[in-house]
Chain A
Amino acid sequence: MEYLIHIAILISIYAILGLSLNLIVGFTGLLSVTQAAFYGIGAYTTAILLTSTGMNFFLAMIIGTIITAVCSLAIGFVLSKFRDDYYALGSFGFNVIIFSIFMNWQSLTRGPLGIPGIPRPSLFGFTFSENIWFLVLSTVLLILIYLVCRFIANSSFGRVLKAIREDEEAISAFGYRTLWYKLSIFVIGAVMASIAGSLFASYITFVDPSSFALTESIFILAMIILGGLANNKGAVIGAACLILLPEILRFVGFPDDVAAQMRQVSYGVILIFLMLYRPQGLVGEYRL
């Protein structure tokens, strides 16, 4: 049971990440591979504030989103100068740079040693120390974020985003300032990822840079491509599939280190097959 709750919590955290990246890649067509950086900023802010000042989790989470918003605004502005493959490549770069900061700003992040002993969240004297209560918390946040994403998708704002994806020049000819739309959605997506990071840090109670490397961004991308781009349900389904897959591999009985690599092989093969045979993913409404 405890094991199932653990898996469910991971799925809810990754579903938030998937939803956040789907806004950027799926709805707006910006192939960003830097989501793990914002996820990491949220996680590290929470970890540092909670362990050094004993601040309330929710306050730390909000501070995390503010820091992420500022960083992502700057990064999004630089990235907005690029298109297509160059956009992806530039976003690789920011992920590597932020990863290096986690790794090397040792006085703040303790570098590769990581930050242990992060407390679980508490609200009005109630502590979410049991996993089942943490699952409730993460599910509530997931539902809130899902509703926000659905609202964005159905709003006029969301329609402009889709128009940018289909033909940016045409929509700017109608007088829309596409830069502002692209920047806003990039920041909104980053802020959601930062919330997922806060949850992750306080659930695992430990953060280290390796959780926020470029491969993690690729993993999140694989998730939403599998589920289907520009579809909020797809992002959640993709997260569930890719979190459950390695657990199944574990039950097949591979030794642990081989299982970890088998997982990577399957992600890679899934990406290749999707591109070859079903570029829109399981329930996607947009193909790259």
Chain B
Amino acid sequence: MDILPQLILNSIIAGAIYATIALGFNLIYGTAKFFDLGYGALMAVGGYSVFYFYKTLGLDLYLSILIGILITGTIGLLVYKLVYSPLRKRKSSGMVLLVAALGVLTALQAIVAILFTSQFQTLSKSAGLEKVFNILGGVITQTQLVTLAIGLVIMVTIGLVFKYTLFGKAVKAIGDDEEVSKIVGINTEKIIGWVFFIGSAIGGLAGILIGLDTGIEPAMGMSLLLKGVIACIIGGIGNVYGGVIGAFLLAFIENFGIWHISGEWKDAIAFAVLILFLLFRPHGILKK
């Protein structure tokens, strides 16, 4: 097996996962304008919901995934209503929201760990028996192909919704100026609630896909979330396509960066990229 095609494939797969995470995160950031770190824990919530319904209760896989997505969305909405919404009404600074979000992340992760122990779990029942495709000398599994497809579908859907529907236009308007949107009669509270529901659901889906591909653990969200945030920032925060471009760029840099050194350096490489971008191109590749 040649290494170069596999590296490219690995980058594309990692890029698809980061892109999905970035899409949900970007949607929330673009509307509510703060770093919702609690989003990281929601990935674990999604993964573990499927683990519970699919493996423990033995429900159908697709049904479990649907339930998992709904649960994650609902928890995201609840957190917004209970924590972020009161803070935003009080016009708290971005730092207060960031610290509160840090609290949400820490607490949710630990609750998941109490319910399901902090062991590493796999979601798929057929680990190792999966269908494998050979492309250009590299290997890609069926789950990874599905992940890639889902990432693209979500991107296109969000792009279309933003462009053509009234809801999308309202979301964009709130992102531009919340006060004025309120004045022209947009029910901002309701729309932002929906944004949190949808964004969190996308995060949950990302967690489920990762669980099906490799596996889940309660603390998985932190590093994935940071990758998603980095992808958003280097791509252009608040911009739907920017996040996706950033995700693939980040994945390629990470995977090619560790070509000659140990894979453990991936996180350090990702943050080095972030810091370089913040210094030299703080608006990212695509400006909003």
Contacts and interface: CB of A to CB of B under 8 A. Distances in A.
Nearest to A254: B114
B278 A86 contact: yes
Given A97-B268, A275-B87, A31 B278 contact: no
Q: Is the interface of B mostly helix, strand, loop or mixed?
A: helix
A99 B226 CA distance: 15
Interface of B: 34-35, 83, 86-87, 92-100, 102-111, 113-114, 117-118, 222, 226, 229, 233, 262, 264-265, 267-268, 271-272, 274-275, 278-279, 282
Contact of B103 (A84, A94, A271): A271
Contacts of A214: 222
A265 B96 contact: no
B22 to A, nearest CB: 14
12 contacts: A31-B95, A100-B265, A100-B268, A218-B106, A261-B113, A261-B114, A265-B111, A268-B102, A269-B103, A272-B104, A275-B97, A276-B83
A100 B113 CA distance: 24
Nearest to B275: A93
B268 A268 contact: no
Contacts of A88: 35, 95, 98
Given A84-B94, A100-B268, A268 B274 contact: no
A103 interface: yes
A272 B80 CA distance: 12
B76 to A, nearest CB: 15
Contacts of B100: 271-272, 275-276
A264 B34 contact: no
A287 B176 CA distance: 28
Given A268-B105, A275-B87, A275-B100, A93 B271 contact: yes
Contacts of B229: 89
Interface of A: 31, 78, 81-82, 84-86, 88-90, 92-94, 96-97, 99-101, 103-104, 214-215, 218, 221-222, 225, 257-258, 261-265, 267-272, 275-276, 279, 287-288
Contact of A221 (B97, B99, B111, B272): B99
B24 to A, nearest CB: 18
The 8 tightest CB contacts between A and B, nearest first, are A268-B107, A271-B103, A264-B110, A93-B271, A268-B106, A100-B268, A275-B100, A272-B103
A276 B82 CA distance: 10
Contact of B93 (A218, A221, A271, A288): A288
Contacts of A270: 103
A268 B104 contact: yes
A268 B83 contact: no
Contact of B114 (A78, A82, A215, A265): A265
Contacts of B104: 268, 272
Contacts, number: 129
B106 A31 contact: no
A276 B264 contact: no
A96 B267 CA distance: 7
Given A97-B268, A100-B265, A276-B86, A264 B107 contact: yes
Contacts of A218: 102, 106
A262 B114 contact: yes
Contact of B96 (A92, A257, A288): A288
A271 B95 contact: no
Contacts of A276: 83, 86-87, 100
A258 B103 contact: no
Given A85-B95, A218-B106, A276-B86, 16 more contacts: A81-B278, A84-B94, A89-B278, A90-B274, A92-B271, A93-B274, A96-B226, A97-B267, A225-B99, A262-B114, A263-B110, A268-B104, A271-B103, A276-B83, A279-B96, A287-B96
A272 to B, nearest CB: 4
B275 to A, nearest CB: 5
B35 A89 contact: yes
A253 B97 CA distance: 34
A275 B262 contact: no
B211 to A, nearest CB: 20
Contact of A104 (B35, B94, B117, B265): B265
B79 to A, nearest CB: 9
A214 B268 CA distance: 13
Contacts of B222: 214-215
A218 B102 CA distance: 8
Nearest to A273: B103
Contact of A262 (B34, B94, B98, B110): B110
B92 A279 contact: yes
A263 B106 CA distance: 10
Nearest to B110: A264
